[in-house]
Amino acid sequence: MEQRMVEFIRAMRAAGVRISLAESQDALQAVDLVGISSRNAFASTLKATLVKEHKDERVFDFFFPLFFENNAPPMWDVTQELDPEQQQMLQQALQSLIGDQESLRQLMEQLLHGQQFSREQLQQIADQMGMQSAMQLFQMRYLTRQMERMIGMQIARELVDQLLEELASMGMSEEALQDLREMLEENLEALGEQISKFVGSQIAENMAQQEQQDPRRDVEDLHFQHLTPDEAERVRDEMRRLAARLRSRASLRQKRAKSGEIDPKATIRASLKYGGVPLEIKHRTRHVKPKLVVICDLSGSMRYMSEFMLTLTYMLQDLVAKARSFIFIDDMVEVTDHFKESRPEVAVERVLRENPRGYYTTDLGNSLKTFFAEHLSSVDSKTTVILVGDGRNNFNDPRLDLADQLTRRARRCIWFCPEPQNMWGTGDSDLHRYAPLSDGVYLVRNLRELSIAVDNILADS
């Protein structure tokens, strides 16, 4: 139990709950005193020692049953509720619908007899899906749907309807059919709940393992997509120090360029007119400030990352020749003028306020169409285009033709994406299609990775 509690604490820390070593020890000692015989007392003890802020209670309530509850949803053994004649009709109807499809037969037999999936069944499918790499809570809904699809839950739901129709045609009474439908639907719901709990527990255990391997939780390592409001404020405070560091690095590169990196080839060519004597020392061309066009996805999962990218871009305004900024959810909007009128942090706050979350869904394809129609003049052969987004397009037309033209027109077109490559192409993601049409993709999940990406852009101007 102590090891399970340690894993629970690691998962909570990985999800952003601040838990110190001393607080972890307090939790273990408190549980020793209270015991684990009462579920409510056990949960209350852990919550009292580990949760300090109201906002963290929902994280606790999500993880606790995944680590400490094994209660399987109740299911009906449908065959025991039928008389012998009805059982025979059921088997005949099942045989006529499924035939020799063994996997479907096994699933339907489990459903009819009220049998839970075994741990081995679910683990085998999870391994096939690569669930061992799932480290984020937002993946739970998608992975649950994927596991249900691989198991055949949707097919089972359709077969239940067909089975009931077949039994009705064979003369089963309306009352028996209604009872049978209710029991089968409850069993389907219970199996779906079991799959959902399994996926949640797998992600939680992966997060605990990840936190054990990399326990750093300083501000530069906080994941943009899972920030609490307090953590977002910490990141905003750190942005000023980060901008100062990046400006110092850029100044050092400029100083080296001014003092002169000798250009050997140009020096040798110039010495030819002096009989090979290097009387004229040639230096490399000075570092040129880049022109930037920053296009940011302002949808729910990307708002913090886009906010920080826009803020940093204009904190470093003196290091770029020109910067123009655009945001999109379902359409493209230029926000460059906001930053001409106000300080970066004030301008970003205004951008977020004027473009709130809403009913609309992300549509980069339509946004690119608007960009080409109204703002294409902002991009030329000296412009670096940075697309800040996860490439999730809600199954809209991604307009790959426009993405390709944008890369060809610009000096380079680069993505800053928070999702690792194994997530590209999953669900509504089109990044696996955008990436080959760009000049590269930076994995940017936190402030540390953002600073590296921006510094590389500024260095390679």
Q: How many helices (DSSP H) and strands (DSSP E) are in the chain? A: 19, 6
Residues 318-340: tens digit of each pLDDT: 778 888 999 999 899 999 988 88
Whether residue 111 contacts residue 151, with contact meaning beta carbons closer than 8 Å, is answered with no
Q: What share of the chain is helix, strand, coil (3-state, %, to 5)?
A: 65, 10, 25
Model confidence at 399: pLDDT above 90: yes
CA pair distance 342, 298, nearest whole angstrom: 20
pLDDT of amino acid 461: 55
- Tell me how far CA of residue 29 lies from CA of 10, 22, 33, 45, in angstroms: 17, 11, 7, 10
Report residue 229's pLDDT band, with 50, 70 and 90 as the boundaries.
confident
Whether residue 247 contacts residue 254, with contact meaning beta carbons closer than 8 Å, is answered with no
| Mean pLDDT on 390-409 | 93
Residues 4-51: tens digit of each pLDDT: 888 888 888 877 787 888 888 888 889 888 888 888 898 899 989 998
Report residue 216's pLDDT band, with 50, 70 and 90 as the boundaries.
very low
Q: Pick from 226, 13, 184, 10: which is nearest to 82 by CA?
A: 184
CA pair distance 368, 260, nearest whole angstrom: 42
Q: Which residues contact 115 (CB under 8 A, 6 or more apart)?
A: 75, 109
95-104 contacts at long range (C-beta below 8 A, 24 or more positions apart): 96/166, 97/159, 97/162, 97/163, 97/166, 98/159, 103/152, 104/152, 104/155, 104/156, 104/159
pLDDT of amino acid 296: 93
Model confidence at 254: pLDDT above 70: no
Q: What percent of the chain has pLDDT over 90?
A: 20
Q: Which two tokens stand for residue 388?
A: 């800040």
